[in-house]
């Protein structure tokens, strides 16, 4: 079994390098996710606005409907 000839400092430096690479990956992932959240938030707000406009149109159409005829009592 070969002996590990690296010093504790070398092992620590290697671990720090791996952590830095991982940190950079996580930063990129976070930036992408933040961008997606912003896009989805904008889309949600747009859909909410469209829904409110559609509701207002439906309410206006309902207001224009004629009233139902009054029922008369039959003997």
Task: Encode pLDDT of 10-65 as tens digits.
Answer: 999 999 999 999 999 999 999 999 999 999 999 999 999 999 999 999 999 999 99
CA distance 40 to 12: 41
Say whether pLDDT at 68 is over 90: no
More confident: 71 or 3:
71
- Measured CA to CA, the distance from residue 18 to residue 21 in angstroms comes to 5
> What burial class does residue 43 get, using C-beta atoms within 10 Å of its C-beta: 0-12 exposed, 13-18 middle, 19+ buried?
exposed
Residue 28 backbone zone (phi > 0: left; psi -120 to 50: alpha; other: beta): alpha
The domain segmentation of the chain, as residue ranges, is 24-61
Q: How far apart are the first and last CA of the chain?
A: 109
Instruction: Say what the pLDDT of residue 7 is.
Output: 96
pLDDT at residue 70, rounded to an integer: 83
> Which pLDDT score, from 0 to 100, does residue 74 have?
61
Residue 5 pLDDT: 79
């Amino acid at each position: 079994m070969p002996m590990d000839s690296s010093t504790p400092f070398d092992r620590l430096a290697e671990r720090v390098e791996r952590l830095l690479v991982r940190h950079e990956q996580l930063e990129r992932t976070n930036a992408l996710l933040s961008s997606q959240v912003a896009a989805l938030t904008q889309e949600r707000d747009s859909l909410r606005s469209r829904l409110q406009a559609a509701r207002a149109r439906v309410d206006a159409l309902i207001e224009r409907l004629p009233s139902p005829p009054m029922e008369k009592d039959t003997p």
